[in-house]
Amino acid sequence: MLWSGRPHIEVALEKHANRLRNGAIVGIGGLLLLIFWYSRQGLPNPIETLKSMPLEPKFLIPLVVVILVMTVPKMLTVDPKSRMDKYFNSLTYAITTERLLILEGNKVVDSYTPEQARQPVIRERAPGYSDVNFDERDITRSDGKHFKDFVLRERRRAGFKALPNAPEMKQRIEDWIQTHHQQAARQVADFVETAPAGRQEEPPKGGSRITNPALGLTLDAPEEWKVQVRTKKKPQGKIFIDKENWSELGEAESWNLVRIEGPSHCRIEVEVFHTPPTVTFEKLAQSKMADSIAGPVIASESDCEINGLRGFSVARRNDLQENKQYQQVGIAAVVAPERHTVLQDGRRQVYIISTWPEDSADLKRAVDTVVESIELD
């Protein structure tokens, strides 16, 4: 555990208490207006009407006032302060070496890795107290309207709330993310530093060799990174419905696509097809669809070479990140450029998609080392 804390309860509840007070004021004001209007219409005196009832009016009038004061706020969908009090008193926040945690009672209700968190944002709650939010979720109902329940509205923004030291907490989260980058870079330092240029009989220190004899493909990857493979029906550049069924390396009898994943958005996908070129540099660099999905082009090479394979590459950058569970998009805490590299040897096409955290030069080197190890026999 690196840090734990709780929201400042009085600050967290202040605006909700104001809503409840305002609701009561509206209720009393409405009652007075109703009495005034009633008297102006020349209708029977409400007091005389009450006198004709079996109960004494001195008991009924206060009862009516209390009922209206209690029900009008609910009619105005003002959330009771007691429910918000119970919610905020149940909250505990924590930062571990691996995750940002939000607990309600003893239950973890939200958990974020550095890859899942969005860029932390400070939102003022009261003078001297703010929330540090790192995700936002959709609270729209099935009919398209927003829920009016204030607990649900509070849960819409995930973060550490009602803190007196929000700028320091924001910096703590950003430093926590950087620490993850540094740890990930240390894990692959030997692999990067000992990776040789050109064909070698053995993989570099801290690396493992991936081969596909049927395709003539060889490449090296850090031992710590996850490797999966699958068979793809058609190469990039062809339109078709593709169902992703990934298997662990060694479990699949045949495959033509390998995915290597590390921490901090490090990822390399390599597909090999016996095919003429399916993508051109111009098509890849000038794609309007790619602009809208992967972001604008930040780097490109119209002619590049890797171990005798010639081709081109285009890199794009998009700082948005989608929360797939809630289908919400926000600014990513870890921005990962995406590079597409296309290589040919005259018979086969190698299509490589690689990503890395843009603020870690060491992890970019690790990803580049994997890409630069690709060979076709």
Strand 375-376, strand 348-355: pairing? unpaired
Average pLDDT, the chain: 86
pLDDT digits (tens, 9 = 90+) for 43-80: 555 555 555 555 555 555 565 565 555 555 554 444 55
Selected residue with higher pLDDT from 323 and 256: 256
Please tell me which of 4-18, 95-109, 142-156 the model is most confident about, judged by mean pLDDT: 95-109
Q: At what angle are helices 57-75 and 9-40 packed, to 10 degrees?
A: 120
Q: Which of 147-156, 226-235, 310-319 has the lowest mean pLDDT?
A: 147-156
d(CA 150, CA 133): 17
Determine the average pLDDT of the residues in 74-92: 76
pLDDT digits (tens, 9 = 90+) for 220-262: 999 999 999 999 999 999 988 888 899 999 898 899 999 999 9
pLDDT digits (tens, 9 = 90+) for 253-274: 899 999 999 999 999 999 999 9
Q: Identify the band that residue 315 occupies on the pLDDT scale cut at 50, 70 and 90.
A: very high
d(CA 255, CA 231): 4
Q: Identify the band that residue 304 occupies on the pLDDT scale cut at 50, 70 and 90.
A: very high
pLDDT digits (tens, 9 = 90+) for 325-369: 555 678 999 999 999 999 999 999 999 999 999 999 999 999 999
Determine the average pLDDT of the residues in 107-130: 95
Q: Identify the band that residue 24 occupies on the pLDDT scale cut at 50, 70 and 90.
A: very low
In sequence order, the 6+-apart residues with CB closer than 8 A to the CB of 55 are none
Whose CA is closest to 189, among 374, 360, 372? 360
pLDDT digits (tens, 9 = 90+) for 160-209: 999 999 999 999 999 999 999 999 999 999 999 998 766 677 889 999 99
d(CA 267, CA 115): 12
Percentage above 70 pLDDT, the chain: 77
At residue 103, does pLDDT exceed 80?
yes
Contact 120, 112 (CB under 8 A): no
Domains of the chain, each with CATH number or no CATH: 3-173 (no CATH), 198-376 (3.40.1000.10)
Whose CA is closest to 118, among 356, 331, 290? 331
Determine the average pLDDT of the residues in 292-319: 96
Tell me the C-alpha to C-alpha distance, in Å, between residue 313 and each of 228, 278, 335, 363. Answer: 24, 14, 19, 19
